[in-house]
Amino acid sequence: MVNVIIPGPDGEPAYGLLQVDSKEPREFSRNDIEFLQGYANLVGAAIERHYYQRRLQEALNIQERLLAELQHRVKNNLAVISSLLQMKAGRAAHPVSKRDISEVMQQVDVLRELYDQLYASSNVDQVDLSGYIAAICNNVASFQAGRQKVRVEHDHAAVLVNPDLAVTLGIVANEFVTNSIKHAGSENLKISTSIKRENGEVRLSLADNGPGLGDALERKEDAGTGSGLELIEGILDYAGCDWEWEASASTKLHVGVSVSEKMVHQG
C-alpha cells in the first residue's frame, strides 16, 4: 500500500490521508507516489472550496435575513409616518396646511410603495416600473379625486429598473396626477400613462384630458404658482433624465432615461 497526505489550507492541519492498496504484493515507485500526491492535492482543493462555499452560503443567508428584516422595519416605519401625517392633516384647521400635509403624505406613499415591491421581490436591485407607476397613479387618484370621476389608464411594457430611478419617476408621476386632479377641471378626468423601451431609452409618458398647461410654464417661477411643475422639472434634472412638455390642448409630459445608465433588465 501507499498513502499520501491530503493537505489543508495554508498553515492549517491536513484533511487526512489518501491511501491506495494493492491486492498483490508490489512496490510503488516514486512516480506512483507523485501521481497519488497530485490527486490528493486536488482532493484537498475540492474540500477547501466546498468548505468556503458553505461558509459563503451561510453568510449570504444571514445577510438576506437581515435585509428582509430591515426592509420590513422601513416599510412599517413609513406606514407609521404616513399615519402620523394623516392625523396631523385631520387636525389642521387651515386648508393650505391640510393640502401641504397631504402632499407630503403622498410622497411618503411613493417610498412605501417602493418598499412594498422590494419586500415582495426576491431581488432588491430591481423594481417593476410598470406595476410601481400604476400603483402610485391609482393610489393618488383614489386619494385625491373625492367626488370627481377620475379614470386612470396604463399602457406599460414590462421593464425593471433600479430603485433610485423608480423613486424618481414615482415622485414625478405622483406630482403629475396630483396637479391634473387639481387643475384639469374636468368632471370626467382621464389620466394616461405609458412606459416603453425604444431607441436605447426607457420612455415614460404622462397625459390627461384637461385644458392643458396654458401659460403655466411661463408663470411657474411666480410666487404661489407652478410649484408642481418646478418640482417635476427639478427632480428630472437632478436625476439626469431628458424630459419635454408637449404643447397641446391637454397636458402631456414625456420622460426619457438612458438604458445603459439606469436600466436593469427588460422582462
Q: In this model, does residue 5 exceed pLDDT 80? A: yes
Domain positions in the chain are 2-52, 125-267
For 169, residues 6+ apart whose C-beta sits below 8 A from its C-beta are 129, 133, 161, 204, 255, 257
Q: Which of 96, 232, 123, 237 is nearest to 174 (CA)?
A: 232
Q: What confidence tens digit (pLDDT) does each residue in 53-72 have?
A: 888 888 888 877 776 777 67
pLDDT confidence tier of residue 150, bands split at 50, 70 and 90: confident
Q: Average of pLDDT values for 98-122?
A: 73
Q: What's the pLDDT score for residue 69?
A: 74
DSSP annotation of 124 reads T
DSSP annotation of 10 reads T
Check if CATH label 1.10.3720.10 holds for domain 125-267. Answer: no
Q: In this model, does residue 195 exceed pLDDT 90? A: yes
Q: Average of pLDDT values for 129-152?
A: 80
Q: Average of pLDDT values for 168-177?
A: 89
Percent of the chain with pLDDT over 90: 16
Of the candidate ranges 38-42, 187-191, 213-217, 262-266, the one whose mean pLDDT is the lowest: 262-266
The H or E element that residue 203 is part of is strand 201-208
Q: What confidence tens digit (pLDDT) does each residue in 112-123 have?
A: 777 777 666 666
Strands (E), 78-182: 127-128, 149-156, 159-161
pTM attached to this predicted model: 0.63
For 255, residues 6+ apart whose C-beta sits below 8 A from its C-beta are 169, 172, 203, 204, 205, 206, 236, 241, 242, 243
Q: What's the pLDDT score for residue 223?
A: 47
Axis-axis angle for helices 95-120, 163-183 (nearest 10)? 150
